[in-house]
Each structure stands twice: as C-alpha cells, then as structure tokens.
Amino acid sequence: MLNTKANIADYDGFYAQLIEAHDGLDDAESQALNARLILVLANHIGENQVLSEAIELAKTGSK
C-alpha cells in the first residue's frame, strides 16, 4: 500500500536539494534528471502495486 502520510523528516531541506540539483540545467536536462530520479526511486520501492498506486495518485493529483 502506498504511504501518502507525511514521511520526510525535512521537507524544506529535501525540496532545496531537489531544486539545487536542477540549477544550471536546460529543460531537456532537467526532464532527464527527473526521469532518472523517478527510476532510481521506483527501483528502491520495487513493488509494482505500490508503483501503480503512485502513478494513479500522480495522474489525479489527489490522495
């Protein structure tokens, strides 16, 4: 089951790190970084059911 409850200890720090990772990248490079990050995190999760739930949540934008 996909965990949709707050689960990141330092949201602001993570957001800042994510934005910093995109500094200096053009749109294509930024999109490629996002795609690679998604694949790395999907591999870490490793459960197709959870990944399917995450995709549906992202498509609808609601919990």
pLDDT of residue 55: 96
Residue closest to 58 by CA, chosen among 16, 2, 15? 2
pLDDT of residue 28: 98
* First-residue to last-residue Cα distance in the chain: 13
Indicate whether 3 pLDDT > 70: yes
Reported as a pLDDT band with limits 50, 70 and 90, residue 62 is confident
In this prediction, residues 28-51 reach a mean pLDDT of 98
In this prediction, residues 28-57 reach a mean pLDDT of 97
Indicate whether 63 pLDDT > 80: no
Query: What is the pTM (predicted TM-score) of this model?
Result: 0.85
